[in-house]
Structure 1
């Protein structure tokens, strides 16, 4: 997710219910029902008016696709819930991999490591990674 120069991104709640319904190809009443069921949770203004983001509109289209394939609304809710959880876990894994890489880099004598699909693996100086396609990173030791 990359912010635009004017401060908007895909999560910016900028669309009214009418605009969101038109962009998603749905009726406004359908959006209200999906909101009540928790399938899409638009932001609210101070006056309690729904405001939808581009991410919300993408989610509405996903609900529409799953519904057209015969998935029940409860099934769609569960699929979306698991998809959200999966996304959050992927972010957390990236954070932990970064923290691990930082920790490995701080260990004395462990400044060379390979990063691949299996994660981060410390290497002895001069050793090669066992799997092709791994990226080898090296950070020289700072001298006082």
Structure 2
């Protein structure tokens, strides 16, 4: 059997070890799992297994709690931090795709919105759209 690749998300710590690493009581970890702050993976026997990522998150919960945040406030902060990380990853992916596209198609065309109803107009590279200075008032 091949060894699975271990990384910071691999669940390897039992609750006692994770509690010791996070400097918390095991009951606190159980409570955080119940309310969804830090949810470890489960084994087939339904025991909790914590990863290094989970332990770091437990430490972050302790830090935020020491600063006076409520558990709901901590949950929201962690949720927003996760969202920021996902968005940063998405931006990196899009930047990488854009760079690859630019390298693969140096003669690419540029598109712009036309002046008559928003149709898409193809422009040659280096060409600019002539801007219309008219003011249009829209009324429903």
TM over 0.5: yes
**Would you say how many aligned residue pairs link Structure 1 and Structure 2?**
107
- Find the counterpart in structure 2 of residue 46 from structure 1: 44
1:56-88 CA distance string (max 9 Å, x none):
000000000100111000000000000001111
- Find the counterpart in structure 2 of residue 55 from structure 1: 53
Q: Structure 1 residue runs of 4+, over 4 Å off?
A: none
Larger radius of gyration between Structure 1 and Structure 2:
2
- Find the counterpart in structure 2 of residue 128 from structure 1: none
Q: TM-score, normalised by structure 2?
A: 0.72
- Find the counterpart in structure 2 of residue 75 from structure 1: 73
- What 5-or-longer segments of structure 1 have no aligned partner? 111-123, 125-144
- Give the drift of 1:109: 3.8
- Find the counterpart in structure 2 of residue 32 from structure 1: 30
Instruction: Map 1:108-127; keep pairs closer than 5 Å.
Output: 108-109=106-107
What is the CA–CA distance in structure 2 between the aligned matches of 1:108 and 1:102, rounded to whole Å? 10
Could you say what the CA RMSD is over the residues aligned between the two structures, in angstroms?
1.7
- Find the counterpart in structure 2 of residue 107 from structure 1: 105
Residue 84 in 1 paired to residue 87 in 2?
Answer: no
What is the CA–CA distance in structure 2 between the aligned matches of 1:66 and 1:44, rounded to whole Å? 26
- Give the drift of 1:7: 1.8
- Give the drift of 1:90: 0.7
- Give the drift of 1:54: 0.4
- Find the counterpart in structure 2 of residue 10 from structure 1: 8
- Give the drift of 1:108: 3.3
What is the CA–CA distance in structure 2 between the aligned matches of 1:89 and 1:17, rounded to whole Å? 31
